Chain A
Amino acid sequence: MSVLVYCEVSGGSLKKASLEALSEGKKLAGALGGSLNAVVVGSGLDAHIDAIKNHGAETIYVADSADHENYVPEAHLTAVADAAAQASATVCLIPATTRGRELAPRVAVKLDAGLIEDVTGLTGEGGTVAAIRPEYAGKVYRSVKANTLPMVVSTRPNTFDAVADAGAGARVDLSLDYSAKAKVVETRKAGGEKIDVAEADRIVGGGRGLKEPENFKLVEDLAETLGAAVAASRAVVDSGWRPHAEQVGQTGKVVSPTLYIAVGISGAIQHLAGMTTSKTIVAINKDKDAPIFKVADYGLVGDAMEVLPALNAELKK
């Protein structure tokens, strides 16, 4: 029995979601009575090996080559399958990022294993894997167990704690034989040093209550003061005020930051679906009966255009 965690390096950095998966994998390996191992694919990976080791990996399978500077889905798939075979992995954990969402199902096919996606809870009692996953955009939770092993499980980012706990970290280099029927030819970073909504620890979300796109400047200013990412409701995304990458909700991103400030957002069920697992929710809305107040820990009834500058000034004090 062993657990294998896919560690994602993209844009030159090791994703925090990978460390979260390693820590969860360590617990799972303990419960199943096996070892924790990791696999990482990319170029210039030496810089990331220590972090993987320090989060509990006993063996680290490394596919490092200049060919992997850009993402080649089939290469990552082959690497995970190779590492899973070498480590006799019974459970493969993959963070449910954009990449993980496509990789996990393909690894499941390659290993002829079952798949449990985007889990928010994971246990390994009784020699098998059981997990909890939100469905219907978090309106209900399903508890699922594996009928057979091996099993591929993807873990929801920002849900599990990353805990340092060093493992042996023995390095095994992989040489890969794959066909590249699809490959990334260009990567573009979002403007400036913007924090991505899906990864942000603090988020300020704006909705139609901001009245016009220019007023998002107030949201951006507050976000900057807080070191937060800007999010948007679908109403303003559909109006073309904000890009879809910022949309939170059932047909946008599901987020669980420490702090979510909803400004001029009514709190439609599809929006709530994307953010009610946030730790602390603040709502600023002119209508005291807006549904958003039902999920907000702290509500402030008022005009966003007046409250936002005042809030920003108060925080800077």
Chain B
Amino acid sequence: MNIAVLVKLVPDTAAMIRLNGDKSGIETRDLNWVLNPYDEYAAEEALALVEKHGGEVTAVACGGDDQVEALRKVVAMGANNAVLVKREGEYDQLASAKAIANAIKDRGFDLIFTGYRTTDDDSTAIGPMVASLLELPCVTEVNKLEVGDGTLTAERNIEGGSEVLEASMPCVITAQKGLNEPRYPKLKGIMMAKKKQIETVDAEAGDIRTATTTMDYPPERPAGKIVGEGVEAVPELVRLLREEAKVIE
């Protein structure tokens, strides 16, 4: 099985996010960078499938040289190949997706895994976009997957329940938490990843359709109050919810 995993490096979710001086973006100095948490599930699923069925895993990242770190993290987990789709400057989702789709379209992947969402721009676009660009089926937010002969069965949570989907392969799968337990890279893998040759291709992306005007902090919540301690404070809490906040009857 020939599998691609699309990955991105993002700030640690515990990080304080500060805006830069002209509020055009975030201050990237002093941030701790990690593999997008959902991409770990994507990578784990790809690696486990290849261990079971044979084949190769190729990690693909689109961005500047900093994204090489994302690729090395997946190689350390066990990926066989790493491709950087190189581009600089502001991109939007469609441009990134086109760059990625163009870079992988002729590589004969049976499955393409992505995270279901990134924890930086909080978008959920790249997987479905790459699927549409390559005219492939796409199953999103998958938390259980069974791969058969040319078809697959996947489960996901939806509002108020869950659903089971069947799809033909090749297919794009976006990984949700619950799909698996990602492995920790072993020391040997980390050493190998450091020396890994990264293939670089130039991005072919097309126009950028959106532009950032500015960035801001969310409105601050006004300081709250401590109503009191223990069971004695319960009647006052309920009174405030009824009469002041008016959120209960």
Measured CB to CB, the residues of A under 8 A from B are 10-11, 15, 71, 73-74, 77, 97-99, 101-106, 108-110, 113-118, 130, 133-148, 151, 181-190, 194-196, 198-199, 202, 226, 244-245, 247, 250-252, 258-259, 268-270, 273, 276-277, 279-282, 288, 293-303, 306-307, 310-311, 314-315
Nearest CB on A from B113, distance (A): 15
Q: A311–B216 contact, CB under 8 A?
A: no
A148 contacts across to B, CB distance below 8 A: 207, 209
Q: A185–B165 contact, CB under 8 A?
A: yes
Q: A101–B13 contact, CB under 8 A?
A: no
A269 to B16, CA, bound (A): 9
Chain B stretch 13-37: residues in CB contact (< 8 A) with chain A: 13-14, 16-17, 19, 26, 37
Q: A144–B210 contact, CB under 8 A?
A: yes
Q: A251–B160 contact, CB under 8 A?
A: no
Chain B residue with Cβ nearest A150: B209
Nearest CB on A from B58, distance (A): 22
Q: Interface code B65-93, partner A: CB below 8 Å = 1, 0 otherwise?
A: 00000000000000000000000000011
A-B contacts at CB below 8 angstroms, number? 282
Q: A136–B164 contact, CB under 8 A?
A: no
A216 to B241, CA, bound (A): 22
Q: A136–B17 contact, CB under 8 A?
A: yes
Q: A297–B125 contact, CB under 8 A?
A: no
Q: A302–B156 contact, CB under 8 A?
A: no
Q: A281–B164 contact, CB under 8 A?
A: no
A306 contacts across to B, CB distance below 8 A: 230-231
The contact size tier of chain B is 35 or more
Q: Specify which of B93, B156, B237 is in contact with A98 (CB 8 Å cutoff).
A: B156
Given contacts A98-B156, A105-B93, contact A259 B248 (CB under 8 A): yes
Q: Specify which of A98, A117, A143, A226 is in contact with B157 (CB 8 Å cutoff).
A: A98
> Which 10 pairs between the two chains have the least Cβ-Cβ distance?
A114-B209, A181-B137, A182-B167, A109-B132, A182-B137, A105-B125, A105-B128, A186-B164, A139-B17, A102-B140
Segment of B44-52, B115-123, B192-200 in the binding face: B115-123
Q: A251–B156 contact, CB under 8 A?
A: no
Q: Could you pull out 30 A-B pairs where Cβ atoms are within 8 angstroms?
A: A10-B158, A98-B156, A105-B93, A108-B129, A113-B94, A115-B94, A117-B124, A135-B120, A141-B216, A142-B215, A144-B211, A148-B209, A182-B139, A185-B165, A186-B163, A186-B164, A188-B162, A189-B161, A190-B161, A244-B176, A252-B177, A276-B221, A297-B224, A298-B227, A299-B224, A300-B233, A301-B228, A303-B230, A306-B230, A314-B238
